[in-house]
């Protein structure tokens, strides 16, 4: 259960209960109780209906998915003073946000807002999946280790480029969240596929290294807000700092290349040793261009050919 003040929009609770009670074994009892309220003075009815619907909402266990999702993230109860569950205009509007009061610092000024359609409560598994993803985003916002900032750094690219960066950032964040949910065993292949599709759409420039980069953000250690922003601003540069990507400079010949060796980690050990003998600090995960890789592959043939030349001597 949650340890902070969680309130529900009265209209949402009423609609959820009315949907759930239709055809329920206890519907007759509920209707009898509800009909009696019409006999109350008009000024008392609204509060009475609210109490009745809240009672049946709890009795029918309609808020169980919300309780489970919040219990899995105690950081939210520590990072927010209160929570509000309200109706969403459509399924596209469902989600969770962090509201921050400008005149209050820390948890006291934070409110967790959850927006859900009444019909979604009829599918508890879908509701729980939605909440787990959305609430993990909010948990990142209140986690000091993540270092969330509500705005991205300004750029010289104009509004269109800033919108592009926001889309990239959101795709990376979604991949990070999906990876953590998968490792917890509460998300399936469909969640991974959806995150992968969004990632590929946001980073078409990564080409053949897109899958490897996606796996890095999906399966790697927890990524901070700064990590995600840095990659969203300069995906090629950020990746090139770790390994060779198309358009980067080969760490051996230092020439730009759009044809890096596809999987340098699988190079035979003999070739790796030849490269390291010339470049002691090089490691396979840094990559190299195909031309350099082919040269090192061909070196034994070149040596054997040279040995057949007249006058060849070893030093």
82-87 and 95-100: which strand pairing? unpaired
Instruction: Please count the CA atoms within 13 angstroms of the CA of 309 that sit on its side-chain side.
Output: 9
CA 99-176-74 angle, 5° bins: 50
Instruction: Specify the pLDDT at position 221.
Output: 66
Q: How much is the pTM?
A: 0.74
Instruction: Work out the pLDDT band at 136, boundaries 50, 70, 90.
Output: very high
**Regarding predicted confidence, which is higher, 258 or 9?**
9
Which segment, 102-111, 112-121, 267-276, 289-298, is predicted with the most confidence on average?
112-121
100 contact partners, CB below 8 Å, separation of at least 6: 109, 110, 111, 150
Instruction: Specify the pLDDT at position 312.
Output: 45
Instruction: Specify the pLDDT at position 238.
Output: 55
Instruction: Specify the pLDDT at position 113.
Output: 98
Residue 236 clears pLDDT 80, i.e. is over it: no
Coil, helix or strand at residue 181: helix
Ranking 34-48, 83-97, 156-170 by mean pLDDT, the lowest is 156-170
Instruction: Specify the pLDDT at position 314.
Output: 47
Instruction: Specify the pLDDT at position 4.
Output: 77
Residue among 233, 225, 71, 218 at smallest CA distance from 144: 225
Instruction: Specify the pLDDT at position 178.
Output: 95
Instruction: Work out the pLDDT band at 273, boundaries 50, 70, 90.
Output: very high
Give the pLDDT mean for 68-84: 95
Cα 198 from Cα 202, distance rounded (Å): 6
Residue 168 clears pLDDT 90, i.e. is over it: yes
Backbone angles phi, psi at 6, to 5 degrees: -120, 120
Residue 315 clears pLDDT 70, i.e. is over it: no
**Regarding predicted confidence, which is higher, 313 or 49?**
49
110-116 and 82-87: which strand pairing? parallel
Residue among 117, 107, 129, 94 at smallest CA distance from 3: 107
- % the chain with pLDDT above 90: 64
Ranking 247-256, 266-275, 296-305 by mean pLDDT, the lowest is 296-305
Instruction: Specify the pLDDT at position 239.
Output: 54
Ranking 160-174, 188-202, 246-260 by mean pLDDT, the lowest is 246-260
**Regarding predicted confidence, which is higher, 233 or 239?**
233
Instruction: Specify the pLDDT at position 284.
Output: 86
């Amino acid at each position: 259960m949650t340890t902070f003040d969680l309130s529900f929009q009265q209209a949402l609770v009423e609609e959820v209960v009315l949907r759930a009670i239709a055809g329920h074994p206890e519907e007759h009892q509920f209707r009898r109780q509800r009909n009696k309220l019409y006999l109350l003075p008009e000024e008392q009815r609204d509060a009475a209906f609210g109490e009745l619907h809240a009672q049946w909402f709890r009795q029918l266990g309609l808020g169980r998915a919300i309780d489970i999702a919040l219990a899995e993230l105690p950081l939210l109860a520590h990072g927010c003073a209160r929570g509000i569950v309200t109706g969403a205009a459509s399924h596209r509007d469902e989600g969770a946000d962090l509201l921050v009061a400008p005149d209050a610092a820390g948890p006291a000024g934070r409110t967790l807002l959850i927006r859900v359609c009444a019909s979604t409560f009829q599918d508890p598994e879908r509701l729980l999946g939605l909440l787990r993803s959305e609430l993990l985003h909010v948990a990142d916002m209140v986690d000091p280790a993540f270092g969330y900032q509500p705005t991205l750094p300004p750029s010289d690219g104009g509004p269109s480029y800033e919108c592009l960066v926001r889309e990239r950032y959101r795709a990376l964040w979604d991949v990070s969240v999906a990876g953590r949910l998968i490792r917890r065993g509460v998300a399936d292949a469909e969640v991974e596929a959806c995150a992968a599709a969004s990632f590929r759409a946001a980073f078409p420039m990564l080409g053949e290294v897109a899958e490897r980069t996606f796996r890095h953000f999906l399966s790697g250690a927890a990524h901070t807000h700064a990590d995600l922003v840095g990659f969203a601003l300069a995906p090629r540069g950020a990746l090139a700092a770790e390994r060779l990507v198309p358009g980067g400079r080969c760490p051996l010949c230092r020439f730009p290349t759009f044809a890096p060796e596809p999987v340098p980690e699988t190079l035979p050990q003999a070739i790796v040793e030849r490269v390291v003998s010339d470049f002691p600090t090089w490691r396979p995960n840094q990559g190299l261009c195909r031309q350099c890789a082919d040269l090192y592959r061909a070196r034994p043939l070149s040596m054997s050919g040279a040995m057949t030349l007249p006058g060849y001597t070893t030093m």
